[in-house]
A and B are shown apart, each in its own frame.
Chain A
Amino acid sequence: MTQLSRRDFLRATAAGVGLGAAAGGVLGGCAAPVKGDLARKSGRRVVVIGGGWGGATAAKYVRLQDPSIEVILLEPNRTFVSCPFSNLVLSGVESIDTLTFGYDRLRAHGVKVRHETATAIEPDTKRVRIGEGYLEYDRLIVAPGVDFMWDQVEGVAGRESTVLHAWKAGPQTVELASRLQALPAGGVVLMTVPPAPYRCPPGPYERACQIAWYLKTKKPDAKLVVLDANNDIVSKTALFKAAFRNYPNLDYRPTSKIERVDLEAREVVPAIGDRVRYDVLNLIPPQRAGAIAIQGGLADTNNRWCEVNHVTFESPKRAGVHVIGDATTGLPVPKSGNIANATGKICATAVVHLLNGKEPPVLAPGNTCYSWVSDREAIAVVNAYRIDNGKVVQIEQKLTPRAAVSVAQNSIAWRTSIWNDVLG
């Protein structure tokens, strides 16, 4: 285990013990499960499940727009690690510490951050269950992110935790970076891209560039094979194709959905084409909305993603429950951090209006998305939207003409401001 993940673990453990002691009234060092109402509701209350890009933003913006509303944010992790820019940790261009933040600044806004896991949503009684206990809400904002559909990957059952996805930034990112550093001469790195839709459409291709750049620079005899379940590069296609030409060590294979993984033989078998032997595997599994959204009955008939009202982000299936970020479907927007942030603000505004008996304003999200294709150059796509007959429609999409250092510099400005917007 790396230094960072060890430190995080220790921090989480120490704090977890402290929390149990405070909440449960510990006798003999053994915390009793907390039952009943965990915090009696005295006024209007919004509960937010998930402290990522969408949830943290929503929690903050409810407080900013109406400080008389109590906001409780449920997030099991004690730190926020930015997925955007985490691919750069794999190439050593960026450190994970730079991408890691605490939640203290949200607390300064009056958000009550509880590092606990919501275990069930009970819309009929307007309660969120946390194990044996519960919290009541007037409006609930669910920002659960994605979960992995491991059942769709044959050969890893029971050993999911040993397969690195590194698709939720944190210890897995650091671990994948260290495995790349330990790659033997002439080694093969294998990355798999799941069928769309998944979190961060350009993310796998940015990652491919970062790993290929790292190998080209540090491991000249090694190569990267990318098995993409999709028929072509999903996002910024022409720009990534141009970038891939700089990496002769990158073997990109579209239409290569994986059929089976053989962890003993260190091989991945695609449905079409030759099996690939690997030294380091980065398997990005198929995805769906976070489990709490499925449990809460918010997902569609496939139990995958959540339909929402495009103006309020309220679920058509559960009154008073709103869903934002990667878990949503039906909007013509990518599953990106920027969209989660934008929809977090729109949803917060709608919730504040609804709790004050007012009509929510008609607002639309925007998306600015950068991808680094080397250690210094980036590309970008930008999408702007409007609302037409109650639905989000795209006004325009623009791409940068080519990879450039100036675009990478803009991405640094973007992250500085948006991290502040989410958590600051």
Chain B
Amino acid sequence: MRTWSSGARLLLGATGLALLVIVTPAVAGPLDGPGAQKALVCSACHGFAGNSRGDTVPILAGADAAYLKKALSDYAGGRRPSPEMEPYAKMALHFGVDEIVAYFASQPRQATPVKTDRAAVQRGRAAAASCTVCHGADGKGDRAKLIPDLTGQPSGYLQNQLLLFKQDQRSPGDAQLKALKLLIQSLPDETLADLAAYYSSLR
């Protein structure tokens, strides 16, 4: 029989905490926040309270609400082509996107339990100098400019997004992303994998 991963144990820890919080009505728990019920459907892929445990599905907990809202709008509008996300994004817009993104933004983020290769992380750190211009030395991004916090996201998700940018399949024609795409297109795929590992390893 299978034993639960360390990531799963982390989740249990958080859930145990949530129970304690829920019985104290003054404090909102993970299922009390605005949008919590509307976001229930999301946990199948994105994990309880938006803390995805998988490698290619992003963690939504603690993400910037405006960034999440733009992402859902882009998925629904086909600007981020994804057969998996497009229907759900339309569903989120139907049920109330502001409540749903506010819910995820208010949840404490647990870094991905998916391990990264140490050598890849080191290579990625060395290659990340250009990324820090926008994402910051700590990888936390800039909320005012809708630049996302990359730290602790699963490396598979980060790598896939880098490849989508490189192939201009994510937000094609978006002027704000032009410099980003030129930079990514100058890098070999192996380096993109290293960058993904590096940012995934940051806390």
Chain A contact residues, CB within 8 Å of chain B: 61, 63-68, 79, 97-102, 105, 108-110, 338, 341-342, 345-346, 349, 361, 363-366, 368, 380, 382-386, 395-401, 406, 409-410, 412-418, 420-421, 424
- Does A64 contact B18, Cβ atoms closer than 8 Å? yes
Instruction: Determine the main DSSP class of B at the interface with A.
Output: helix
Nearest to B30 among chain A residues (CB) is: A64
State whether A384 and B87 are in contact (beta carbons under 8 Å apart), knowing that A64-B31, A417-B53 are contacts in the complex: yes
Query: Are the CB atoms of A416 and B54 closer together than 8 Å?
Result: yes
Contact in complex: B83, A380 (CB < 8 Å): yes
Question: A363 and B45: CB pair below 8 A?
Answer: no
Taking A64-B18, A366-B41, A366-B87 as given, write out 13 further A-B residue pairs in contact, using a Cβ cutoff of 8 Å, ordered by the A residue number.
Answer: A101-B1, A342-B44, A345-B40, A368-B45, A384-B87, A386-B95, A406-B56, A409-B156, A413-B57, A414-B57, A417-B43, A421-B43, A424-B48
Would you give the shortest CB distance from B188 to chain A, in whole angstroms? 19
| CB-defined contacts of B22 to chain A, threshold 8 Å | 64-67
Say yes or no: is B90 at the interface (Cβ < 8 Å to chain A): yes
Q: Is the C-beta of B52 less than 8 angstroms from some C-beta in chain A?
A: yes
In the bound complex, do residue B19 and residue A67 qualify as a contact, i.e. CB atoms below 8 Å apart? yes
What 7 pairs across the A-B complex have the smallest Cβ distances?
A: A413-B54, A384-B87, A384-B91, A398-B83, A416-B54, A396-B87, A413-B57
Inside 8 A of A341's CB, which chain B residues have their CB? Answer: 44
B45-104 CB contacts (< 8 Å) to partner A: 45-48, 52-57, 83-84, 86-88, 90-91, 94-95
Asked if B185 CB lies within 8 Å of chain A CBs, one says no
Distance between B166 CB and nearest chain A CB, rounded to angstroms: 14
Report whether B45 and A417 are in contact in the complex, using a CB–CB cutoff of 8 Å.
Answer: yes
CA distance A250 to B190 in the complex (A): 38
B16 at the interface (CB under 8 A from A): yes
- Given the known interface contacts A400-B83, A401-B83, the answer about A395 and B90 at a Cβ–Cβ threshold of 8 Å is yes
When the two chains form their complex, are residues A382 and B84 in contact, meaning their CB atoms are under 8 A apart? yes
**Distance in angstroms between the alpha carbons of A118 and B15 in the assembled complex:** 29
- State A349–B90 Cα separation when bound (angstroms): 22
Query: Which of chain A's residues has its CB closest to B160's CB?
Result: A406
| B15 touches which of A109, A338, A346 (Cβ 8 Å) | A109
Q: Point out which of A383, A398, A400 has the most chain B C-beta atoms below 10 A from its C-beta.
A: A398
Residues in B1-48 with C-beta less than 8 Å from chain A: 1-2, 4-5, 8, 11-12, 15-16, 18-19, 22-23, 30-31, 37-38, 40-41, 43-48
Kindly list chain A residues whose C-beta atoms are within 8 Å of the C-beta of B30.
64
Taking a contact as CB atoms under 8 Å apart, the answer to whether A395 and B91 are in contact is yes
Would B45 and A424 count as touching, CB distance under 8 A? Answer: no
Question: What is the bound-complex CA distance between A417 and B95, given in angstroms?
Answer: 23
**B8, A412: Cβ atoms under 8 Å?**
no
In the complex with contacts A349-B37, A349-B40, A395-B94, A384-B88 CB distance below 8 A: yes
Which one of A342, A382, A414, A421 lies within 8 Å of B87 (CB-CB)? A382
Q: Which residues of B sit under 8 angstroms from A380, Cβ to Cβ?
A: 83-84
